[in-house]
Chain A
Amino acid sequence: MEKLMEDLKSQIIEQLNLQEVKPEDIGNDEPLFKTGLGLDSIDALELIVLLQQHYNIRIANPEQGPEIFHSIRTMAAFITAQQKQQA
């Protein structure tokens, strides 16, 4: 889980072009949207692309977004759960 969360931070920075952010700037429990990283609705769509590209997980319903993408930890937990289901 720790490793996954570290990976996610780098992947998010790359996918969302957060050029002035470093992985260590992102807290595991910090909200990604609005406050925190200040991501918006297009970023949420890019995170859906990220899940598909790096983890082969598809999200068809964008309304799931806010829950899954609340923080690095909720994202990692979602990915872990999905991978268990697939295995």
Chain B
Amino acid sequence: MSVKVWIAGGGVISGIGMNLEENLQAFKDMRTGMTKMQYLQSVHQDAFPVAEVKADNDTLADMARMPETTSRTALLSLIAAREAWKSTGLGDISRYRVGFVSANTVGGMDKTEDFFKAFLPNPGGGRLQQVVHHECGAVTELVADALGVRHHISTISTACSSGANALMYGARLIRNNIVDIVIAGGTDSLTRFTLNGFNTLMILDQQPCRPFDETRTGLNLGEGAGYVVLVSDNLLAHIQPWARLSGFANANDAYHQTASSPDGTGNYLAMKGALDMAGLTPEDIGYINLHGTGTQNNDVSEGIAINRLFAPHFPAMSSTKSFTGHTLGASGGIEAVYAALALKEGIIYPNARFRRQMKELPFAPATAFSTGNDLKHVMSNSFGFGGNCSSLVFSKE
């Protein structure tokens, strides 16, 4: 019998708020985070709406109590991870065996871009090796240090499912008695690199995105960070858990580098695997936080996989990316916090801008915020490039 793993708290910074409370208020007010680009300098400034964290680097550095030269990815990470820890009421972090498992896909790319600019005209002027400490792992180390985490530190980089995979790994660290607590989630800042890249893939919507809508034409990029605090059953007396991480699974779609298979094979396997681990059947799930990017391909594959697994009992579902944009490596962490909070307060989040049901699917997402719902089990999906598909199941008890 595996040790139970509880969610003792969470923290989020995103395009709709600097902390979890602000995020929640934005959902209640139906206030989404997409605006014209304000903080990132890009030639695409006017072309694509983005969900930026509404603060410049100096302000974030102040909030994080870090030097202004720190990568934005690290600043977002530290702010959300501190909030997550504080929300648990566990107090002095040095009293526990704590791990920090963080996901990101861009690392310190915002700083690396500056290096590239200097490097390109004069390749003799710098060595690529020097950039390495701007990379993914360095961001995690920096934040772990600031948090006072000493027992275990890992960085996971599996594209847009990274954040969810951080929770899976964190839970396993606890179950194997390597640590008692893991701060797990992800962070990513918006960079020209990702914006240009997604633009070349022609999957950015020039309007605010419309996940799971028949008229959807792509995603909006966002940025942020989200972490939950996973706690072992042996510390249950010290916390007031929001939820339990009861199931998780990861599968590879084995179809294409960026596209999901038409029948959502990997999506289906991940959701099914997570339910199996939790010992649940599809009708037990009360709400699904969809991966729901708003691209033609993701939403139809995810929808078909849900249809295959859940028909005819479809739970309430929504894509919170219609508010936060797609925050890439952070999304699995941010949405895990939303999912755990959903159980704590019976929340069903709205799917903004939904108008027309997709012709391939017999169901539609929830469009209004509601609280006090009787939710016992909630699912959160995160699917990434490279065919990496993850699904998490949270339970009230």
Contact = CB atoms under 8 A, between A and B. Distances in A.
B201 to A, nearest CB: 6
B346 to A, nearest CB: 41
A38 interface: no
Interface string A13-47: 00000000000000000000000000011100100
B256 interface: yes
A62 B202 CA distance: 7
Contacts of B259: 40-41
A50 to B, nearest CB: 13
Contact of A40 (B200, B201, B202, B256): B256
Overall SS of chain B's interface: loop
A41 B200 contact: no
Interface string B243-269: 000000000000011110000000000
A45 B200 CA distance: 7
Q: How large is the interface on B (under 10, 10 to 19, 20 to 34, 35 or more residues)?
A: under 10
A75 to B, nearest CB: 18
A42 B202 contact: no
Contacts of B200: 45, 49
Contacts of B256: 40-41
Contacts of B202: 45, 48, 62
A41 B257 CA distance: 10
Contact of B258 (A42, A48, A49, A62): A42
A38 B259 CA distance: 15
A62 B199 CA distance: 11
A42 B200 CA distance: 10
Interface string B171-210: 0000000000000000000000000000011100000000
B46 to A, nearest CB: 15
Contacts of B258: 41-42
14 contacts: A40-B256, A40-B259, A41-B256, A41-B258, A41-B259, A42-B201, A42-B257, A42-B258, A45-B200, A45-B201, A45-B202, A48-B202, A49-B200, A62-B202
Interface of B: 200-202, 256-259
Given A42-B257, A45-B200, 12 more contacts: A40-B256, A40-B259, A41-B256, A41-B258, A41-B259, A42-B201, A42-B258, A45-B201, A45-B202, A48-B202, A49-B200, A62-B202
